[in-house]
Structure 1
Amino acid sequence: MLLTIQPEELTERWYDVFEKIEWTEVLLFLFYVACIFLVRAIVLGISRRLSTNRVFRHVDPVLRSLLNWATTYGILLFMIFYFSNSGWMFDRLFEIGNVEITAFLLILVVLIVSLANRASKIITRYILPNVYQRYHLDRGMSYTFDRMFHYTVMAIAIVVSLTTVGLDLSALTVFAGVLGVGIGFGLQNIASNFISGIILLFERPIKVGDRVIIDDLIGDVDKISMRSTVIKTIHNEHVIVPNSYFLEEQVVNRSYGDPRMRLVVPVGVAYGTDADKVKKVLLQAAQEEEQAGGVVLSDPVPFVNFAAFGESSLDFELMVWIDNSNQVISTKSALNFRINRLFAEHEIEIPFPQRDLHIKSMPDMKQQ
């Protein structure tokens, strides 16, 4: 069995360890920790005041990160050395397989895993971006490499920490079996979203930075985590979507493959207007927007579609291609402004719905 002692024996053993603790020593250790935090607060206060100066403006976040790192791991290392001669630090708490787990081993595992996590974040934040820039990798591919690097480092750290404490990984087979049953019954949604997240990172039907449409909701993929994906809408709202949704439901990805997109601008003119004149003016609006340095493309060429004879207007559609799907709203607005100005210059009327009301004469009322 994975645990070789009963719960009653485990409780009694923890109580024995608790009795061996010298509380005077513990209080002195807490005093030293309080002094460390006091020094940290003083240094951060000085750095915050200096950050008002332009020269030291960028020093404060770096110093804050270094102090947090030094405080966390400094306290853990100080705890190991300070209580190195204490018996309770090395007394057996419980057993996994044939390995006796002590407080020292637990602290060592936490230290290894946390150091690996911090090292992974430092490498992905300060070192890997230079590599991505050198090889001209896009934002989505860079994010995929960052996630896979982080997962790999953490997996190695967990294996190293377990083997460091002398734990035979084969002793975890029972735990793995129990975990598999738990996934099959209660954790299947979490497992499904985790596997879907791995598929999204490798297959990349969507990637960080893509403009997507989900149930009429338009936004950019901001983050793909282990369980969910964060979509940042055009209104700066963040929507959390389970990863499995992108593999099971229909999702529109405007940035997938060819970044170009056709934009349709509908417009109506009054009956009796010269249709050829309308076509010429609409193409002029597209040409002006393209020459103004917008995202409108000249190839494929803009096209004017005579859509229908509406109830109150002749309905046209100006179809243009743009090279950035993120500029749909701004480009459509700019084209509408140009069309409205050009229609006014060429005296082309934009109608509004009209209704003719016919009133029949009422029969004479008999006078009472």
Structure 2
Amino acid sequence: MNRLIDWMASLDEFGISFWVGAVLGFIIILLVRYVLVKGNKKITSNERTALFLTTVINWLTFFAVIVFLFSYFSRTALIYQTLFTFGDTNITIFLILTVVFSLVLAVKLSGAVRQYILPTVYDKYGLDRGVQASMNTFFHYLIVTIAVLISFSSIGFDLTSLTVFASVLGVGIGFGLQNVMSNFISGLIILFERPIKVGDRIIIDGTIADVEEIKMRATVVRTRVHERMIIPNSYFLEEKFVNRSYADTRLRIAVGVGVSYDSDVARVRQLLEESVIELREEKWNNILKEPEPRVFFEEFGDSSLDFTVWFWIDTQSEEREFRIPSDLRFKIFEKFEQNGIEIPFPQRDIHVKSN
């Protein structure tokens, strides 16, 4: 027995016993991981939960590897040598690696929860896309902040040293980061006050666009020709814009048409109303019954009597906003043709005067 202990001690001088234990530990970890990954689908029938468990298991394995490396290199004084002093805290390689690893782990955990767990909550309570995007962003910031604070505290970092950093940052903000911080704070206000949210249809300088993503500094919107506009967050708090989806997702659509002066205007009004009703019954049940379609006699034009029919659709979308008016024009043209209602083209009378 004493010989065995002496032999292990001699091996330990070369670090061999450490590596033997590490290899055995890794084999056990891989076996446990294999069993859990294969078995988690039997534990739960929810696919999102199974994927989340698989992700967590993978990162726990990675965490075990990192802990092993820290334990091994802790025998060397290199990673504990002071690189520089920040306030009252000595900055070492170990401190930097710990913070970086904590941030990476927090980001991965946040991503896994947002991808696999939170969608289940959203589906259960029927939350809209805007609320989902706000909660995802807020949850991500919260997890990362908590991870930074816990990692700093656990390694003995003096948080009061951050006051030095805050003072330096304040000077930087005063000189060159005003716009950056303004947009960052505006982004937080947008997430909570929600003048816009993901999925809203807005109009900026006459351009219709859909809000795709609200980031830390800017908001990404998609125009009708599928171009992306990057707009600073502060714009939505300082400038005027139209949010079509702010309080009501319904949209009123107006379609105009001109008829000849010898047309029966009462018949024209009836045909326009019938066109909207028939289109709703035949193809587009997105056209609302209430409010009812309304026909307006706009004006006596130069060559035609001008009418406009108003109707409402339930929700805004690129397909409905453009295809429904187009289909209605086809329907109006067909009914006018069947009933002998003429749609005139511009006319000019030329009088030739002879001397």
> What TM-score bracket applies, with the shorter chain setting the length?
0.7 to 0.9
Indicate whether 1:311 and 2:302 are aligned. yes
Describe the shift of the 1:119–1:66 C-alpha distance in structure 2 as closer, same or farther (beyond 3 A). closer
2:348 aligns with: 355
CA distance in 2, matches of 1:257, 1:353: 41
CA distance in 1, matches of 2:223, 2:68: 46
Long gaps (5+) in structure 1: 1-60, 364-368
Structure 1 residue runs of 4+, over 4 Å off? 64-79
Alignment of 1:83-162 (within 5 A): 83-162=73-152
1:255 aligns with: 245
Describe the shift of the 1:202–1:85 C-alpha distance in structure 2 as closer, same or farther (beyond 3 A). same
Q: Is the 8 A contact 2:84 2:92 kept in 1?
A: yes
Further displaced range: 283-292 or 177-186: 177-186
Deviation of 1:65 after TM superposition, in Å, equals 7.7
Indicate whether 1:200 and 2:190 are aligned. yes
Deviation of 1:260 after TM superposition, in Å, equals 1.7
2:348 alignment partner, SS class: coil
TM-score where L is the length of structure 1: 0.76
2:266 aligns with: 276
CA distance in 2, matches of 1:273, 1:148: 61
2:322 aligns with: 329
CA distance in 1, matches of 2:224, 2:62: 39
Describe the shift of the 1:74–1:233 C-alpha distance in structure 2 as closer, same or farther (beyond 3 A). farther
Alignment of 1:28-67 (within 5 A): none
Deviation of 1:341 after TM superposition, in Å, equals 1.2
- Cα deviation code 1:213-266 (max 9, x no counterpart): 111211211111111111122222211111111111112111111222211111
Amino acid corresponding to residue 186 of structure 1 in structure 2: G
**Root-mean-square deviation (Å):** 2.5
Further displaced range: 252-261 or 79-88: 79-88
Deviation of 1:183 after TM superposition, in Å, equals 1.4
Long gaps (5+) in structure 2: 1-50
1:55 aligns with: none
CA distance in 1, matches of 2:128, 2:235: 24
Deviation of 1:95 after TM superposition, in Å, equals 1.1
2:107 alignment partner, SS class: helix
* Pick aligned residue for 2:336 from 343, 352, 358: 343
Describe the shift of the 1:157–1:66 C-alpha distance in structure 2 as closer, same or farther (beyond 3 A). closer
% identical equivalent positions? 48
Deviation of 1:84 after TM superposition, in Å, equals 3.0
- Cα deviation code 1:273-327 (max 9, x no counterpart): 1111110110011101221343111111110000001111110000111111222
Amino acid corresponding to residue 126 of structure 1 in structure 2: Y
Q: Is the 8 A contact 2:218 2:231 kept in 1?
A: yes
Q: Is the 8 A contact 1:282 1:304 kept in 2?
A: yes
CA distance in 2, matches of 1:81, 1:168: 24
Describe the shift of the 1:72–1:311 C-alpha distance in structure 2 as closer, same or farther (beyond 3 A). farther
Amino acid corresponding to residue 338 of structure 1 in structure 2: K
- Cα deviation code 1:104-137 (max 9, x no counterpart): 1111110001101110111011001111111121
Q: Is the 8 A contact 1:262 1:321 kept in 2?
A: yes
CA distance in 2, matches of 1:168, 1:199: 31
Q: Is the 8 A contact 1:76 1:107 kept in 2?
A: no
CA distance in 2, matches of 1:99, 1:157: 19
Amino acid corresponding to residue 174 of structure 1 in structure 2: V
2:217 aligns with: 227
TM-score where L is the length of structure 2: 0.79
Deviation of 1:165 after TM superposition, in Å, equals 2.5
Deviation of 1:175 after TM superposition, in Å, equals 1.6
Deviation of 1:348 after TM superposition, in Å, equals 1.2
CA distance in 2, matches of 1:168, 1:161: 11
2:211 alignment partner, SS class: strand
Deviation of 1:83 after TM superposition, in Å, equals 2.9
Amino acid corresponding to residue 313 of structure 1 in structure 2: S
Query: Number of paired residues?
Result: 303
